[in-house]
Structure 1
Amino acid sequence: MPHLKVYSPKFISRFLKTRPGETKAGEKIQFISRLEELSKSEAKYVIFGIPEDIGVRANYGKPGAASVWNAFLEAFLNFQHNDFLSSENLVLLGEINCSAEMEKASNLDFSDPNYYVKLGEMVEAIDEVVSAVVKAIIAEGKVPVIIGGGHNNAFGNIKGASEAFGKPINVLNIDAHTDLRKLEHRHSGNGFSYAREKGFLDKYVIFGLQENYTPQYIFEEMEAAAEVKYSLFRNLNNGDENAIFEEQLGFVSEGNFGLEVDCDAIAGFPSSAISPSGFTLDEVRNFIGMAGKRQNCSYLHLCEAIATKDYPTGKSLSFLVYEFVKNNAHA
């Protein structure tokens, strides 16, 4: 069973590159020794990682999302602690330790007729830990910032937030895909389907949807559901994307909502479903800043990214997190 691995200053010291006269985020960021200590911290944001790609594999996708957490830490912890980034308002919690499940997934026989079902069972185990951690963070009045893993982890985020608030939550998802696939074995393509089915998700917006990746049956289901809205990417390049994004924010932000960002929505971004068409990184930075200013924005999740040698994935994710913790109205 996966579990939460809590970090210490000593553990993250290997990522730090200190310089005389400068203070890095990793030198001021806060730590706790166990989840129950969150109530004693005055920090508002709690960062943790989910280094797994089992849900992506279970969705017939490209593995690699497990690699991005360390890349993020190496970049973000070396951002400057200054008037624009108050690292003391952040807790670096740790990671969902999925190493045993990752090894087990790698050793599965691909020819096994139950290969994908077995991966889905591992995803369900990860769901339970993710939801418990998110629930505990939000119950303390804090804002989770979740890095990595496949978009299967949206289900755990939504479930945990819903249970913390005692009601279904709303979600705005910046994504090229809906992740509303059929209720089969759990995988990265049906986290929102299951969240709706289980009663954890109320209003749902997909911003930047690529129709080329969306089956007809999903379009029909969305058209029949008043609580689901989407904006096609091809209709968002007329200079009015910010106005449309604000409109979609208005739809979800009347209640508590989560902000999901699938990195395949960013053109050329290394991800499990990399696409040549999509938003720029700076556009997504702007969207995250806009959403983060809403008082009811209850968590941020960045997923599906892959660390590569020829792209600064960790630094890119760090800019996205910075935009959220810099602007969020909870500060």
Structure 2
Amino acid sequence: MRPGPRNLITDVAGLVVGNAHDAGLRSGVTVLTAARPFTAAVHVMGGAPGTRETDLLAPDRLVQQVDALVLSGGSAFGLDACSGVAQGLRAMGRGFAVGDQRVPIVPGAILFDLLNGGDKGWSASPYPALGAAALAAAAPGFGLGSAGAGFGAMTGHWKGGLGSASAVLPSGITVGALVAVNALGSVTAGDGPWFHAAPFEEGAEFGGLGPAPRMAPPDAPLPLKRQGEATTIAVVATDARLDKAQALRMAVAAHDGMARAILPSHTPLDGDLVFAAATGAREMQDPLTDTFQIGHGAATCLARAIARAVFLARPLPGDPQPCWSERFGG
């Protein structure tokens, strides 16, 4: 596998991503969408998720495709971002046709960033406007690190952020990942600079430092956040033609990448989940081999994207956590 030309999830042709954030709020929103509806699924492994419209992504539900996927800060308030995105899509004439009406299908997930030092004293939720702004900004190129849904994210040790990565499989199928990292666990080995995802790094996309000289012996970590304060929310995507059941298997496989990059992950205190998106632009030539490699590629891209999120995060005055780049010069 090799990265796509942008090393972003938008190397999956047709997908675009938009970010919006409020520096005073220390929070933001990220939207993934496309010119036409796409197949989607979701798999949740964390014990404290916050979601909207994820039940309809099950393979047996009526709606087979969605118009956008939303990742947002703001805890439960951030689910309002989906309403801003839906309003914007409706204005474009997008959505599931019901008579003469259009209902945009916009599943979303949130992370907790209410205790990161930002001004959270709003009288009306800022998230619908942030969602609309992120949709309006959607493009093939977009910012990483302290951007979008990752703007105010934190982890168990370093400041979190927004990450992305891509890979082109031997078949020519492209896969990619997009992630907002606000995890309870750590993405690095101890207090050192070495990322757990190092064995999967392409070039020097997160420093090129390689694995830690010696992995720390197993121990019993204590949570550095409380229940409901942590999560890693992600989207993995491909241009392969997948049905909802196959997309679900891609999401399940991608969780391996989360576990490779964050220790520990999928805890009772995290809301870890992965959306899957499939544009259907490329037919699979060997469904057995292709679906096998798509799952592996999605997991690998997600591990790399998680490390890139933390590697590219940048400091703000008053940050409650250090940036990896401040300590190690990313």
- Taking structure 1 as the reference length, the TM-score comes to 0.28
Higher relative contact order (CA 8 A, sep 6+): 2
Bigger share in strand? 2
Taking structure 2 as the reference length, the TM-score comes to 0.28
